Structure 1
Amino acid sequence: MTTPILETRNLSIAFGGLRAVDDVSFSVERNRITTIIGPNGAGKSTLFNLISGALRPRSGHVLIEGVDHTAEPPYRMQAAGLARSFQITNLFFDLPVAENLRLAAQVLEPWSLALRPVSASRKALQRVDELLERFALAEKADYKAGALSHGEQRRLEVAVALACKPKVLLLDEPTQGMSHGDTQDTAALIKSLTRDATVLLIEHDIGLVMNLSDHVIVLHQGQKLAEGPPAEIRNNPAVQAAYLGHV
């Protein structure tokens, strides 16, 4: 049996009396799109924070390729092959698009180049060129990130997360606030990412979730309510009562 690329086992955290994530276990298959859905306050972003090392769980484990990385800091999780984007756009708005990407891709270079000129960072610069082309940002490489449209900023943030060539990419509502056209373009882009990485996604657009996902996990009040293929989740009475009926 193939080892899941990402696995959580009985993951839990509480804030005071609130159990924000309560005994959540699931596994993620390699080079597929797994989407986490649920009402606001269900614990989705908190779960991402536990997986990525931003929060330390009260109990439970996070494994990448069968190796326990529970509570390791984000830089160690990145070294293990995990990267993420955030619900709120998180870029260097006063720096050019290309420089945002270059800073993210610099991790591909050996430490021996740390004090060398940027021009010596050939691997990082090559990665920047690849991502500018792939994410349709080449014409705006010299624009400040803050001058991009909202849709372009969200696209750039996904590119930044992908710059370090992660095995697992966590995307927290990457289409939030986008127009319908930008949403469809981003969905196609996310689908293409599975050539290189496994995608774990938080998304509120149910139509997009059902069309894009290979596997869906439903959270409700911090607990896993259901999981399975999109069609099975859509037809699940408990999911309909707790979430889909209110979308």
Structure 2
Amino acid sequence: MNGDTILNVRGLTVRFGTLVAVSDVSFDAQRGHITSVIGPNGAGKSSLFNLISGAIRPSAGQVLFEGRDMTGQRPDKMLAAGLARSFQITNLFFELPVRENLRLAAQFVENGRGLFRGIAASRVALARVDELIERFALQTRADELAGFLSHGEQRRLEIAVALAARPRLLLLDEPTQGMSHADTQDTEALIRSLAAEGLSLLLVEHDVELVMNLSDHVVVMHQGAKLAEGPPLQVRADPAVQAAYFGDAREASHA
């Protein structure tokens, strides 16, 4: 894998009134690698994710994507630059078929030119839809309404939708939340395969063991600040991380 930096986060801070939700957080994500952000509830990881993806504007700091300052840019501008995201809560058109969800997302491949054209005319978008349906094993569900899919299938479809515009960096917010053990294993394998194909990924994830098995680099948040970062084994062995997070996580996993 190519080890150059695709994302630089520099001093990101956001305040909501007197509350500092994220305080002076910096880290880098490497191209073709899986970088994960973890932390206990209320640590600020979702706010950090939203700052990076453009969902909220920072009070201070910078987000550099491939060396370009994208701080505070709207999500559509982020997508145009090559950065896509999924959401913690499934964000699909449940009343539309799987294929139509993907077609709407794939119109971006044509830089918006296909948005108001007839379906048959959007050849590039339709080719991308067929590619994604096969890639995500959705052939038997392509004409089903998205609302009729299982939770695991909906999460898989949402990742496919996020990939429709061929981003170079994919941000996944709690991709295994609410999944069964089998669906979690399938999602882990999917994320590994995407990274193996050269896609860069940034995850916010609650499943510590999944993060440790999957990630190249881990960033630990605590009370709105970065507590530690590094390779999984290094982070797991950090006494401050163990005291702040892993002990509680292990107890919860055996509860």
Work out whether the TM-score is over 0.5: yes
Matched with 1:210 is 212
The separation in 2 between residues aligned to 1:11 and 1:49, in whole angstroms, is: 11
User: Once the 2 structures are TM-superposed, how far is the Cα of residue 115 of structure 1 from its aligned partner?
Assistant: 3.6
Distance in 2, Cα, partners of 1:24 & 1:139: 44
TM-score calculated relative to the size of structure 2: 0.94
Which digits, 9 at most, give the CA deviation of each residue in 1:87-119, with x for residues without a partner? 011100000001111111110114444442111
Q: 2:37 is matched with which residue?
A: 36
Select the residue among 223, 229, 233 that pairs with 2:231.
229
For residues 165-204 of structure 1, what are the structure 2 equivalents within 5 Å?
165-194=166-195, 195-204=197-206
Whole-angstrom distance in 1 between the partners of 2:60 and 2:26: 12
* Structure 1 contact 31–198 (Cα < 8 Å) conserved: yes
Q: Which amino acid is the alignment partner of residue 209 of structure 2?
A: G
Percent identity (aligned): 66
SS in 2 for 1:243: helix
1:3 touches 1:65 (CA, 8 Å); kept in 2?
no
- Give the Cα separation in 1 of the matches to 2:193 and 2:58: 32
CA deviation after TM superposition for structure 1 residue 186, in Å: 0.6
- The C-alpha deviation readout for 1:118-148, integer Å capped at 9, x for no partner, is 1111111111111111111111000000000
Counterpart in the other structure of 1:60: 61
Distance 2:85 2:238 in 1: 29
Tell me: CA distance 1:237–1:80, structure 2 relative to 1, closer, same or farther (3 Å): same
Give the equivalent residue in structure 1 for 2:90.
89
Query: Which structure 2 segments of 5+ residues have no match?
Result: 250-255
Count of matched residue positions in the alignment of Structure 1 and Structure 2: 247
**Aligned 8 A contact 1:20 1:43 in 2:** yes
Q: Using structure 1 for the length normalisation, give the TM-score.
A: 0.97
Q: Deviations over 1:170-212 (max 9, x none)?
A: 0001111111011001100011111142000011111111111
Amino acid at match of 1:172: D
State which of 224, 248, 251 in structure 2 corresponds to 1:246.
Answer: 248
Q: Provide the residue aligned with 1:138 in structure 2.
A: 139
Gaps of 5+ in 1: none
One-letter amino acid matched to 1:130: E
Deviation at 1:25, TM superposition (A): 0.4
Q: What corresponds to 2:72 in structure 1?
A: 71
